[in-house]
Amino acid sequence: MGAATLDDLLDPLGKCLDAESTRRLVDLRVPELVQNRIADLAQRASEGKLSPDERNEYEALVNAEDLISILQHKAQQDLSLVP
């Protein structure tokens, strides 16, 4: 998926958020338990020790973390436009 397409997909979501929700999104942090699971799976992936189910879990977690980061970046940009 190209960047323009991703922007087109996510822009309507940003329009659904008020300023407070946007601030909360920017401040959102991945829980430590999830961070630890991702780190464990990453280590085991680099060692070639993941089962197919664990590889799917790892990819899903990384994709979700990437999406959250993108949404946070867009939210931060939106907040910079708020007077």
Each residue of 18-71: pLDDT tens digit? 889 999 999 999 999 999 999 999 999 999 999 999 999 999 999 999 999 989
Q: Judge contact between 21 and 28, C-beta under 8 A.
A: no
Check: pTM over 0.75? Answer yes or no: yes
Domain that holds residue 44: 3-81
The amino acid that residue 32 corresponds to is E
Q: Nearest-5° angle of CA 5, CA 25, CA 74?
A: 35
Give backbone dihedrals phi and psi of 10, rounded to 5 degrees, phi first: -90, -25
Tell which wins on pLDDT, 31 or 78. Answer: 31
- The total number of structural domains in the chain stands at 1
Instruction: Give the confidence band of 3 by pLDDT, cuts at 50, 70, 90.
Output: low
